[in-house]
Amino acid sequence: MNQKISMSRPSVGEAGRTGDWRSSRPVMRAELCLAAKAGKVTCQLCWLYCPDACITQGMPPEIELEYCKGCGICAEECPAHAIEMVPERAHGVCEMPGGAAR
Amino acid sequence: MTVHVMTGNDAAATAAKLARVQVVAAYPITPQSPVVENLSKWVEQGELPAEFVAVESEHSALTVCIGASTVGARAFTATSANGLAYMTEQVWWAAGARLPIVMCVANRAMAAPWNVLNDQQDSMSVRDAGWVQLYCRDNQEILDTTVQAFRIAERLNVPVMVCYDGFLLSHTMMPVDVPDAEVADAFLPPRTAPLQVVDVNNPRNVGPVTLADPRADADGTLQPGYMEFRAMHHGALLEALEVVPDVDRAWETATGRGWGGLVCEYLLDDAEIVLVAAGSLVTQLTLVAEALRAEGVRAGVLGIRCYRPFPVAALRERLAGRALALVFDKALSYGYQGPIAEDLKAALYAAPDAPAVYGAICGLGGRDVSPGQLAAATRAALGDLAAGVTDRAPVWINLAEGSMR
């Protein structure tokens, strides 16, 4: 710790493991995702709208739960209703990097 | 060096010019307006190579200074009373972002009711924001302190507020020695690189969400949490207890004028009764001490030049062994007492050989305070002291009978 003021860089994980904040988890149902169904990188609105850049483009797009805060914007914007916000308690324990449970 | 007859506002503006400020952003408010009117004129006439940004509010004035200071410019603004209150959010930002902005505050009473005259409620109300606060006694000290303020600010990476009494100093003409530009330049070299990294090839978010705990960044390096940054900021303010006197001594070497560093004193050596205040009241109190000495009372004056950080050690050392410290505040923490009295009592708590501390409230909203009234208040305090009163509710000077019900 040597800097005198708070600064951050545009890097993955720069703000810490913000996935800790999540109370609901976005669950992608590929069978409804337009891109997955079309077999090409189309739509991608979830990737576009994610304010924390936690979503990678794909068929279907992938959601990085290490940093997803669970805001639910992706689920709200998905025109095919392919993303469902499921309360974390429904998933049981969260895993830490390395596999430790907490 | 040339002696000019000028107002306190002219002295503040002249100091900013001597400091070669690069960005001035301000919104007019009585009694500060002539400071930035001068600077605006000098920029327009080509005498001061700076950007003058005319903004629509005080909030924007300080915000522009924050932007300018973030990228490394020497930035200056001035305000008073409700203008200072309006920019309060940014007052905190400038401090927390550790930006060496200098702001002159021509002290004025807070509304409501509306009043443009002097007291010190405005700057006292932001004493906790993390700026260094210096209070001036006369126009020469305003000029000298404002130049010093840039060196203090840039050494510590904290903003500095130079406070002086509205109208009593801001609009009163006095002879002021204006140092030559070469003297000021040697004293205050150009600002060095800012703490902030501003580089399009190496971008940073400055002042991002910073949670309570330290966090590992993308490289796994532990970065400070909110409390660690606040502790570092507090450390910088405490360091100002050394830097403010150092800079004052350096100024004295350069110009022959020093102002006492953290505190100033008059007839203090053998004083039993010490009159304490900040700002132009200190000058008035020297007359009171002289008058009381003529009556056989060993009175002296201790002026607070640096109010934040509060010079606890200096005050303890100078007040040890005295009988009474009588504090005259031109501000009030409503429902409690005057801020300087409150702070002095806390500073002296458990100090060996500490005097009794009494508070007095005076001069609110520009209510005239005469040396005669101050002397009478001191005589009354001596009566209380002789009666064995160790603590006393603040006395209001020159208040109409029956007002406090």
Residue A3's pLDDT is what?
81
Q: Do A5 and B195 touch (CB under 8 A)?
A: yes
Instruction: Give B229→chain A minimum CA distance, Å.
Output: 7
pLDDT bin (cut points 50, 70, 90) of residue A98 is low
Q: How far apart are CA B280 and CA B297, in angstroms?
A: 23
For residue range B301-354, list pLDDT tens digits in order: 999 999 999 999 999 999 999 999 999 999 999 999 999 999 999 999 999 999
pLDDT bin (cut points 50, 70, 90) of residue B391 is confident
Instruction: Give B74→chain A minimum CA distance, Å.
Output: 18
Q: How far apart are CA B249 and CA B329, in angstroms?
A: 28
Instruction: Give B200→chain A minimum CA distance, Å.
Output: 12
The beta-carbon neighbor of B208 closest among A4, A8, A13 is A8
The beta-carbon neighbor of A8 closest among B204, B216, B229 is B204
Residue B186's pLDDT is what?
98
Q: Do A16 and B210 touch (CB under 8 A)?
A: no
Region label for B167, one of left (φ > 0), alpha (ψ between -120 and 50) or beta (otherwise):
left
CATH no., domain B263-403 = 3.40.50.920
For residue range B24-41, list pLDDT tens digits in order: 999 999 999 999 999 999
Stated pTM of the model? 0.93
One-letter amino acid for residue A69 of the chain: K
Instruction: Give A50→chain B minimum CA distance, Å.
Output: 18
- Compute the average pLDDT of residues B369-375: 96
User: Per CATH, which fold does B2-187 belong to?
Assistant: Rossmann fold (3.40.50)
Chain B positions contacting chain A at CB under 8 Å are: 97-98, 157, 195-197, 202-211, 214-219, 222-224, 226, 228-229, 232, 236
| CB burial readout B19-49, b (16+ within 10 A) else e | bbbbbbbbbbbbbbbbbbebbbebbeeeebe
For residue range B257-315, list pLDDT tens digits in order: 999 999 999 999 999 999 999 999 999 999 999 999 999 999 999 999 999 999 999 99
Instruction: Give A10→chain B minimum CA distance, Å.
Output: 7
pLDDT bin (cut points 50, 70, 90) of residue A93 is low
Cβ count near B257 (within 10 Å): 14
- Compute the average pLDDT of residues A14-40: 93
Cα of B218 vs its chain's centroid, Å: 41
Residue B300's pLDDT is what?
98
Q: Do A1 and B222 touch (CB under 8 A)?
A: yes
The beta-carbon neighbor of B218 closest among A1, A6, A11 is A11
Helix (H) or strand (E) holding B292, with range, is helix B281-294
Q: Do B197 and A7 touch (CB under 8 A)?
A: yes
Determine the straight-line distance between the first and last CA of chain B, rounded to whole angstroms. 54
In the block, tokens 């009171």 appear at: B288
For residue range B108-167, list pLDDT tens digits in order: 999 999 999 999 999 999 999 999 999 999 999 999 999 999 999 999 999 999 999 999
The beta-carbon neighbor of A9 closest among B157, B203, B214 is B203
Q: Do A5 and B206 touch (CB under 8 A)?
A: yes
Q: Do the two domains B2-187 and B263-403 of this chain adopt the same fold? A: yes
Q: Do B217 and A12 touch (CB under 8 A)?
A: no
Instruction: Give A3→chain B minimum CA distance, Å.
Output: 8
Residue A92's pLDDT is what?
66
Q: Do A7 and B208 touch (CB under 8 A)?
A: yes
CB B364 within 8 A of CB B332: yes
In the block, tokens 């520009």 appear at: B366
Cα of B274 vs its chain's centroid, Å: 21
Residues of A in contact with B210 (CB under 8 A): 6
State both tokens at A42. Answer: 């189309």
CB B162 within 8 A of CB B16: no
State both tokens at A32. Answer: 């409804």
Q: Do B208 and A6 touch (CB under 8 A)?
A: yes
Q: Is this complex's ipTM strictly greater than 0.90? A: no
Residue A95's pLDDT is what?
56
CB B249 within 8 A of CB B258: yes
Q: Do A9 and B205 touch (CB under 8 A)?
A: yes
Q: Do A6 and B210 touch (CB under 8 A)?
A: yes
Q: Do B206 and A7 touch (CB under 8 A)?
A: yes
Sign of CA dihedral B237, B241, B246, B252: positive
Residues of B in contact with A98 (CB under 8 A): none
| CB burial readout B292-325, b (16+ within 10 A) else e | bbeeebbbbbbbbbbbbbbbbebbbebbeebebb
Residue A102's pLDDT is what?
44
CB-based burial of residue B10 (10 Å sphere; 0-12 exposed, 13-18 middle, 19+ buried)?
buried
Q: Domain map of chain B by residue range?
A: 2-187, 263-403
State both tokens at B294. Answer: 């003529």
Cβ count near A30 (within 10 Å): 13
Size of interface A-B (CB pairs under 8 A): 64
For residue range B187-242, list pLDDT tens digits in order: 999 999 888 878 889 898 999 989 888 988 888 889 999 999 999 999 999 999 99
Instruction: Give A83→chain B minimum CA distance, Å.
Output: 28
Residue B198's pLDDT is what?
82
In the block, tokens 């006439």 appear at: B45
Q: Do B195 and A3 touch (CB under 8 A)?
A: yes
Chain A positions contacting chain B at CB under 8 Å are: 1, 3-16
